[in-house]
With several copies, the nearest count.
Chain A
């Protein structure tokens, strides 16, 4: 269930995974981009962590607004802006009383508005969209999240740096897709999602 508690856990687990996998995300970004995705995400994550530590009274919507501004202001790079925008839209959606599915759909809208990526263009959208579908169909599992992340290996990049050498990129997981996998693993582990 989505409560203040589980929202906080969701964001904290996401932060933890980003901390643990900074190097790995950098490495993924090295093959297809400029090698900074892990470092970028860590910056946003640590700023948010400090904010969460101080916070005692925010509701879920406020927590996501906080996350949104943290990632927008501190991450640097494309993905940080997209996550930030997603979080802001999710915050808005929470305020309007939407359920998890509604919130994820709003987040996706934010991402698409700023990044204009479509499915199969080797971005975090390739995880966000099918995960949202799995939530709709009540069949989301850790395994399925992982499959969605791995599916990006076969796609050709059309956005960002990777687009330039897209033909040479088959076989590599997209770094943004990988970090997005962590976000949804954190969501599952936090108990936000319940069939």
Chain B
């Protein structure tokens, strides 16, 4: 089962943005793990390495596709990817559209190579 291998991690500068996107994804991908993390340590606008690391480590899937809103969220992901045993696939795709596409495709058991191919069209960063 795809859903046991791949999970989705959403990193935003704003908590509600990540949470809201996760809600949108879960509606079309009930069986896929979607983890949302957002905001600075104090809950303000920003990102937090610790939060991202913790969110990733809480996921059970060995392979995680990560989406982010702005550049410094990506930097967190890069740092985290150096310190985790998981395979973290950082996707430079449009945040909402890319994550939505992957959610739908994972839910439909689409092979990873096909997902990667379709996602490529949403790369904007």
Contacts and interface: CB of A to CB of B under 8 A. Distances in A.
Interface residues of A, number: 23
A73 interface: yes
Nearest to B50: A73
Contacts, number: 54
Contact of B40 (A76, A115, A159): A76
Contacts of B79: 72, 81, 84-85, 114
Interface in B96-110: 101, 104-105, 108, 110
Contacts of B49: 72-73, 81, 84
Given A161-B28, A164-B101, A74 B75 contact: no
SS of A interface (majority): helix
A82 B40 contact: no
B33 interface: no
B75 to A, nearest CB: 4
B109 to A, nearest CB: 8
A95 B13 CA distance: 35
Given A81-B75, A81-B79, A168-B110, A76 B46 contact: yes
B3 interface: no
Contact of B110 (A36, A72, A73, A165): A165
Given A164-B104, A165-B110, A74 B41 contact: yes
A184 to B, nearest CB: 22
B40 A165 contact: no
Given A76-B48, A78-B71, A161-B104, A114 B78 contact: yes
A165 B50 CA distance: 31
6 contacts: A34-B27, A36-B46, A76-B47, A77-B46, A114-B75, A164-B118
